Amino acid sequence: MKHHYHPTILIILIITLIGLSLSACATATSPAAVPTARPVGETPGSPVTAPTPTTQTAVLPIIRLHSGDFYFSVDGKPGFIYSRNVGGYKPVHYERLMDWSQAGGTTFVRIQLDSMGMGYTKQGGLDETWALQWEQVFDKAEADGIYILPVFSGWFDWYTGTGYTTWPTNPLNQVNGGPVKSPAELFQKDSATQKMWMDWLTAVVKRWQGRNNIIAWEIFSEVNLASGATETAGIDFIDLAAAKIRSADTQHRPVTASLADDGKWPKFYREADIDFIQVHPYPTTSQLDREIVRVIRESITRYERPVLIGESGVAYAENYPENAEIGVRHAIWAAMVSGAMNGRALYWEDGFGIFFPKLGATWMEKFKSADLPAANFVKGVDYSGFKPLTSTPSSGVWGAAIGHQGMVLGWFRDAKCEPPDWNLKPLISGQSVTISIPGSEEDWTVDFYNTSTGYRTLSPITVTRQGSTVTIPLPDFQDAIALKMSPTK
């Protein structure tokens, strides 16, 4: 996605400034010192509820991505799942984030493996200390029933341009006693640098391929920002890495890679040998829900591949608008009806806010359960064959719908609730939405759901098809409302 700033540049600039102060910050925001957050949708004065702490090993669902599917299958049934980006300098920094993920309804976390070192020695061998640290994190995630999407490297480790770069501290950099003169060597076919990195990648996959809670492998984050990486060279690099991973992984998990802006490399997502593509929406308007629906649907049409929201954000963390939590909730629900494989996938709010001394865990805790209502809503829903549907709401609401001839899910919100203030009307009344539904089923039963809980709140209504569309009168609501429709039996 195009955006005026890049979150990784900003976050690591701050990491550079605060240095080793994170440990002190983590101590200052220990669980006992962090106030519990008010669940999404509760009004001031409502009881405050903390997530139930993990007391025993959670059940790990079986998650697979089958060929031709646009969604992960959970215990044998395609479904919509929620994810987070988590970060920290030490294994202990991830423990609380894993517990929050479990309590919030999250299925997997995306982890950039260079957060605790780059994983290799100056000679290119596997860094044993690094591996053991991550294995502590993986063990904690599995105990909480959480899957991992490991990201082997990011553009900033191989970047020499202006702004932030970790290339000066890369162990393979010649100035640090390594053999590599330039990051561009990584993308030169058959170079010694590329071979060394691929050997390291293979060693890591062989070491971890037996773990049960790895959902997929991400080769490189935003590869088009790395120095010396042309589109052709980038595709060749990713294809070679994907082949190495598939050869080493006996469980044959899916492989992905991400771009910062697919418009700059238009062939990459069409031609690279990956199993699903990614988007990283950071709209400068802060209209994340609208951006998610737009970019996901455009990507599905353009590439005809499953689309993962790898990371996203409503606003830059230290300039966070006061009411942006409303925008976060809207984005979480919008993803569910966008056609994406997953939702949430926030960057600052999920974990990287810990690197900001003014924010830290206390600030992030406000978002810890934001995906739980939507996760409740989609729990058990079979997404087999689901596709984005065309919906036309009346002027007072905005949203989207997804489904097929046998079931439709919809989410619609107050159309005027937009950044930077996200002002909410006391009541949305007299609105409707018309949805184009395939098939010929005439009568449909519609159930309405409270988006603060994800549970049904009103008696169902029956509506009748008119040609290819069905018009649903919406009940009065505040903020947003969700619906499930199925043919009347």
User: What pLDDT digit, counting tens, does each position of 368-390 carry?
Assistant: 999 999 999 999 999 999 999 99
**Full-prediction pTM beyond 0.85?**
yes
Q: Cβ contacts of residue 344 below 8 Å, gap of 6+?
A: 82, 83, 84, 106, 309, 331, 332, 335, 350, 370, 371
Sign of CA dihedral 396, 343, 304, 436: negative
What is the Cα–Cα distance from 306 to 320, expressed in whole angstroms? 31
The type of residue at 431 is: Q
What is the Cα–Cα distance from 302 to 279, expressed in whole angstroms? 13
pLDDT digit string (tens) for 79-92? 999 999 999 888 99
DSSP H helices, 272-370, are: 288-303, 324-336, 360-364
Pairing of strands 147-151, 108-112: parallel
* Per-residue model confidence as pLDDT tens for the chain (489 residues): 333 345 544 444 444 433 333 333 332 222 222 222 222 222 223 333 334 444 467 889 999 999 999 999 999 999 999 999 999 888 998 999 999 999 999 999 999 999 999 999 999 999 999 999 999 999 999 999 999 999 999 999 999 988 889 999 999 999 999 999 999 999 999 999 999 999 999 999 999 999 999 999 999 999 999 999 999 999 999 999 999 999 999 999 999 999 998 888 999 999 999 999 999 999 999 999 999 999 999 999 999 999 999 999 998 877 888 899 999 999 999 999 999 999 999 998 998 888 888 888 889 999 999 999 999 999 999 999 999 999 999 999 999 999 999 999 999 999 999 999 999 999 999 999 999 999 999 999 999 999 999 999 888 999 999 999 999 999 999 999 999 999 998
Structural domains present in the chain: 7-37+52-378 (3.20.20.80), 387-487 (2.60.40.1180)
- Which one-letter DSSP state was computed for residue 134? H
Residue 99 φ/ψ region, left for φ over 0, alpha for ψ in the -120 to 50 degree band, beta for the rest: alpha
Q: Is cis: bond before 281, omega within 30 of 0?
A: no
Residue 132 CB-half CA count within 13 A: 3
What is the Cα–Cα distance from 339 to 112, expressed in whole angstroms? 25
